[in-house]
Chain A
Amino acid sequence: DAGVIQSPRHEVTEMGQEVTLRCKPISGHNSLFWYRQTMMRGLELLIYFNNNVPIDDSGMPEDRFSAKMPNASFSTLKIQPSEPRDSAVYFCASSLVEVQPQHFGDGTRLSIL
């Protein structure tokens, strides 16, 4: 039973570059969440999709961040242009319905130099 799969696991890039993070949710789950985790702020919701439709993107920091879910088995989070303050661990999570326990991927550790 494959869990939530994220790629890449680690990403190091220079300021100003475009960064794309990828997520494959658990098959059959219709809710998908992107989170950012930092030491100071813990886990913060960036965007929530239900049935591939973005429901709430109020947590997206600014226009440099965008997310898509073209189908039920794939989602991307893009940062363009990236800045050093975007350095964090980004998690994708999915659940069968929005109130069920979320299953998290192992995250992408992003470092912007």
Chain B
Amino acid sequence: KNQVEQSPQSLIILEGKNCTLQCNYTVSPFSNLRWYKQDTGRGPVSLTIMTFSENTKSNGRYTATLDADTKQSSLHITASQLSDSASYICVVSEGTYKYIFGTGTRLKVLA
């Protein structure tokens, strides 16, 4: 069964600290993996997208990594800011329009 699992479910960190969110997937076939940021009351916004051959992709303070062999991805946030408080969703594509969504990690950044 195609699944995307994220950990932790929730995380609280202090402003300025770094953090890493995890995503494990069992999706086959695999086309690409995306990370989305979803602010409360808003729709998800794409942060990064990686294909099978890409190991890392950065978007400002966000860096995503992908290990296609172990079927794991991580999203690293550097020097966190209050505005980083949101849910982060890992999404894996089978290669067509079908996307498998994780249930997300809720991040809270405290001043």
Contact surface of A with B, Cβ cutoff 8 Å: 4, 31, 33, 41-45, 48, 50, 55-56, 91, 93, 98-99, 101-107
Contact A105 B43 (CB under 8 A): yes
Contacts A99-B31, A101-B34, A106-B41; is A48 near B97 (CB within 8 Å)? yes
* B10 on interface, CB distance cutoff 8 Å: no
- State how many angstroms separate the Cβ of A2 from the closest Cβ of chain B: 14
- Determine the main DSSP class of B at the interface with A: loop
Say which size band chain B's interface belongs to.
20 to 34
Q: Which of B41, B45, B98 contacts A104 (CB 8 A)?
A: B45
List 4 additional A-B contacts (Cβ < 8 Å) besides A99-B32, A101-B49: A43-B89, A91-B44, A93-B43, A99-B95
| Across-interface contacts of A31 in B (CB, < 8 A) | 97
Contacts A42-B102, A42-B103, A45-B99; is A99 near B41 (CB within 8 Å)? no
| Across-interface contacts of A91 in B (CB, < 8 A) | 43-44
Residue on A nearest B46 in the bound complex, by CB: A101
